Amino acid sequence: MKIVQLNTTYGMADSTGRNVKELHNYFMHEGHESYVYVNKFNDEVSRLDLNVKLFSNKMDQKMHAVLSRVTGLQGYFSKKSTQRLLKELKVIRPDVVVLNVLHSNCINFEMLFSYLAEEKIVTVLVLHDCFFFTGHCCHYVDSNCTRWKDKCGNCPSMKKWNKSLFFDTSKKVLRDKKRWFSKFDSINLNVIAVSKWMEKEARKSILKNANIAAIYNWVDLESFKYTDELPAKLPKQMKKHIAVAVASYWDEDKGLNDIITLSESVNDLTILVIGNSNGKFKTCNNIFEVGIVQDMKEMARYYSIADVFLNPSKQETFGKTTAEAFACGTPVVAYRTTACTELVNRERGGLAEWGNIGDFISKVRDVLNNGRMFYSMRATKFAKENFNDIKNMKAYLNFIEDAVNRKKK
């Protein structure tokens, strides 16, 4: 079977780039022809794989970004880049194309969807966020919006996500997406949701007639497990308790301000912040900025040293860092929202009321008072049962094979 994956990134620096790389290697290990097209490599090692190629370039992405900001239309440009990609697909003649995160100024959706529908290629949309079924946004919980179920319009998030400077195009975009997806035969349009919460949302959306299944993201359990080895980068002095927080890029949606408030409220806590923070925590005495960590075993050392893992994100479609923390036996405190409610409970940490930083701080204190060992075994057991990498990647492959077999019948 020939499988092509499309994604914005490839490699270890972010969750979708890592997912795509691990799936690519798994597909090849299982004897399938696997190809990946991206517009950015996260690490130099990934460039060595001849079956992984760039389909866009920086100049095209910059032009797309400018046009998107001005017009409010994301995924309506990059025609030459998309033509080059389609030319490659015509040579490969894939049985399946798996679409991941592509709302990054790199592709023309109408050209791509029209080609896949006309050629009757089995297509799998992986819902890492909500963009495939909304008129603009990647997430909508923070704005309490349900317009995506019907027509969109009067979008509360046009200045956010794929930011539009002037126009609210959400009604047009959702209408266009309905039209693009309607071109597919029902057996050729398939959806993988990365959590049960995301599956429920998809079934209320313009994708409701597709073949939809929920498959959790996974964790490399050989790398993510408890270790008593210390990470390389630590502050010279640390408080009584240690917390770890991780984000690819730290902003308010990931809970930046909540981390700062927590640091000011819990005096005996040192918070190790991992990811691109651009010095946003420099003025906080008990926050230490680690920076980007790409090595999984090094990440496991940070999770293992922590008394608690902090996930103050306002909206998580899955929460891979939560799964990684559990695999290392670390309890997690998160908000009671979206997929977090599937992963976190009192046996594995604490859930605070959505947006209530006071309750979040209270739950952190509860976890610290109970001690890491109170949660550790149950967190590890939950991770092994739900986030096994081989088991969940096999579920992806089974889903794809079932889709191809339905087409043949």
DSSP class of residue 56? -
Structure-token pair, residue 185? 């035969």
Of 284, 289, 260, 250, give the one whose Cα is nearest residue 357. Answer: 260
Which segments of the chain have a pLDDT < 70?
A: none
Residue keyed to tokens 């306002």: 314
d(CA 27, CA 63): 34
Query: Of 30, 17, 10, 5, whose CA–CA distance to 390 is shortest?
Result: 30
> What would the pLDDT profile of 125-180 be if each residue is shown by its tens digit?
999 999 999 999 999 999 999 999 989 999 999 988 788 888 999 999 999 999 99
192 sits in which H/E element: strand 189-193
Q: What whole-number distance in Å separates Cα of residue 338 and Cα of residue 399?
A: 24
- In this prediction, residue 18 carries a pLDDT of 92
Q: Name the nearest CA neighbour of 209 among 185, 176, 231, 233.
A: 185
The whole-angstrom separation of Cα 83 and Cα 187 is: 26
Residue 119 pLDDT: 96
Closest CA to 260 of 248, 277, 237: 277
Residue type for 209, please? N
- Please calculate the CA angle 384-230-15 and round it to the nearest 5 degrees: 45
Predicted TM-score (pTM) of this structure: 0.94
- Give ∠ CA 273-279-283 in degrees, rounded to 5: 90
Put the strands of the sheet holding 349-352 in their side by side order.
287-291, 269-276, 241-249, 308-311, 332-335, 349-352
Token pair of 18, please?
Answer: 């890592």
Tokens, residue 257: 């301000």
Nearest to 104 by CA among 156, 171, 38: 38
- The identity of residue 330, as a single letter, is T
CA distance 73 to 227: 47
Alpha helices in 161-265 (DSSP H): 170-182, 196-202, 256-265
Torsion angle of the four alpha carbons 72, 76, 82, 83, in this order, in degrees rounded to the nearest 10: -140
pLDDT at 43: 83
- The string of pLDDT tens digits covering residues 48-100 is 899 999 999 899 999 999 999 999 999 999 999 999 999 999 999 999 999 99
How far apart CA 135 and CA 130 sit, in angstroms, is: 10
Are 306 and 242 a contacting pair, CB within 8 Å?
yes
Write down how long the chain is.
Answer: 409
